[in-house]
Amino acid sequence: MSESDPPVVLIVEDEPDVAETYKLWLQGDYEVRMGQNGDEGLELLDESVDVVLLDRMMPGLSGDEVLSEIRKRDLGCRVAMVTAVEPDFDILEMGFDAYLSKPIRSEQLHDTVTNLLERSEYDSMLQEYYALVEKQATLEATKSSAELAESDQYATLTEEIAEMREGLDDTLGGIEDDDDFIATLRGLSNGEEE
Amino acid sequence: MYDLSSVLDFDALTEVRPGSSILVSGPAMTGKEKLVYDILADGARDGDGAVVVTTSDKAASVVEEFRDRVPDLQGAQLGVVDCRGEGGADPELIEGVSVHQVSSPGDLTGIGIGITKALEGLHDSGRERGRLALVSLSTMLTYTDKKTVFKFCHVLSSRLDAAGYIGVFTIDSGAHDTQTIQVIKQAFDGLIDIRDAEGGGREARVLGLANEPTDWKKI
């Protein structure tokens, strides 16, 4: 996600009216793509997609099948499942990052997309944080404490690490809720940042 | 605040802020595991919840350990996340303790789900304080790289912070290179270092929880 381009949301939904409504709500803030079924959705999916809104019940490929294909391709996008009924199973164990049950309101849709984008932001900050920590550890392992005390590079690094740590605590409010917690861990296991 | 000084007598451990995560580091056979179990048991005696994430002991032995240490352990006071990946040999509930099986010490999502369920169980029974132990990071490091383990520790610490819990994580300092230990340390608020003392016995020091590192002291 670069600074200038709006994030990309892919809607995979077989009912055209419903898909159009989501698009109307989102198009001011995001670049919106629409696929009418699972196959079309997968065709429109590439590295630039940030969030997928995936209808679970569709003719042809089901939402679950599309999800497993997305995970297999190891794309960094976040996937929200859209269902007709509130699921009575553990959505997180199925590998979705969030779910929305129909009918969806505009505000709810915006909140979900925003939260999913924040999680991606959190992931990339964590990645950056790790890079700094590793650099610091290398210096600590190779220099004496006297050398470290005199090193400007070390002082700057230490400062950057403290800042980054605070930034992480602010994004998502740290990791306050269970969904954010599990989804972030799944991101680590999937090796999305590689 | 959490007072750990009755388990390990250091001033720096009398007022540990809720949300703190502490790394317990030392060579093999220096009692790291016993120490973290003692820290959890000490809290459980005062009504704190306890969550054990284990990569080596089976859930039934963890429960037994706790029953020995805390004879009046309440139901729903202990949750165990068993990551040995040996499958469903253990029942879901061992004498009222909730147990979650995870397929392997490298299955971070599974471990997260297990921890979430354990925390939920404790929360539902009205416990607002609790302590989590993870034994051990060294096993996790054999399943996944240090970058992933570092991030896992950071994310888990952040979750514990939101819950107001404290976490104690063990690592075998002799099993990894200096750089790995240095990196992993950075994911924690504090460090308890243990080593064999000259002339027998063990000594420990505490870093990061007070302004200055403490001196080594016999334990």
**% pLDDT > 90, chain A:** 56
Is the pLDDT assigned to residue A190 strictly greater than 80?
Answer: no
Separation between Cα atoms, residue A18 and residue A38, nearest integer Å: 16
Mean pLDDT of chain A: 88
CB contact under 8 A, A175 and B107: no
- For residue B160, what is the enclosing H or E element? helix B146-163
pLDDT of residue B91: 57
Q: Does A162 touch chain B (CB under 8 A)?
A: no
Can you read off the two tokens belonging to residue A189? 């296991």
Is the pLDDT assigned to residue B188 strictly greater than 70?
Answer: yes
Burial class (CB in 10 A: 0-12, 13-18, 19+), B1: exposed
pLDDT of residue A193: 39
How close is the nearest chain A Cα to the Cα of B5, in Å? 28
Query: Which chain B residues have a beta carbon less than 8 Å from that of A185?
Result: 108-109, 111-112, 152, 155
How close is the nearest chain B Cα to the Cα of A27, in Å? 33
Q: Does B159 touch chain A (CB under 8 A)?
A: yes
**% pLDDT > 70, chain B:** 96
Q: Which of B113, B158, B178 sits opposite A175 (nearest CB)?
A: B158
Q: Which candidate in B23, B83, B109 is best for mutational testing of the A interface (most A CBs within 10 A)?
A: B109
Mean pLDDT of chain B: 91
Q: Which candidate in B21, B117, B143, B159 is best for mutational testing of the A interface (most A CBs within 10 A)?
A: B159
In this prediction, residues B108-136 reach a mean pLDDT of 93
Q: Identify the weakest region by mean pLDDT among A60-74, A119-133, A177-191, B125-139.
A: A177-191
In this prediction, residues A97-125 reach a mean pLDDT of 91
- For residue B26, what is the enclosing H or E element? strand B21-26
Query: Which chain A residues have a beta carbon less than 8 Å from that of B102?
Result: none
- For residue A80, what is the enclosing H or E element? strand A78-83
Separation between Cα atoms, residue A31 and residue A4, nearest integer Å: 12
Q: Does A178 touch chain B (CB under 8 A)?
A: yes
B 20-59: CB under 8 A from A: none
Q: Does B18 touch chain A (CB under 8 A)?
A: no
Separation between Cα atoms, residue B52 and residue B131, nearest integer Å: 9
At residue A1 the predicted structure's pLDDT band, cuts being 50, 70 and 90, is: very low
Query: Which chain B residues have a beta carbon less than 8 Å from that of A134?
Result: 147, 179, 183
Inter-chain contacts counted by CB atoms under 8 A, chains A and B: 75
Query: Which chain B residues have a beta carbon less than 8 Å from that of A175?
Result: 155, 158-159, 162
At residue A192 the predicted structure's pLDDT band, cuts being 50, 70 and 90, is: very low
How close is the nearest chain B Cα to the Cα of A81, in Å? 18
Pick from B135, B201, B124: which is nearest to B168 by CA? B135
- Percentages helix, strand, coil for chain A, rounded to the nearest 5? 55, 15, 30
Q: pTM of the entire structure?
A: 0.88
CB contact under 8 A, B182 and A141: yes
pLDDT of residue A92: 66
Q: Which residue is listed with tokens 């790995």?
A: B180
So what's the ipTM on this one?
0.89
What's the per-residue H, E or C state across A31-77? Answer: EEEEECCHHHHHHHCCCCEEEEEEECCCCCCCHHHHHHHHHHHCCCC
pLDDT of residue A71: 86
Adjacent-strand bridge partners of B205: B193
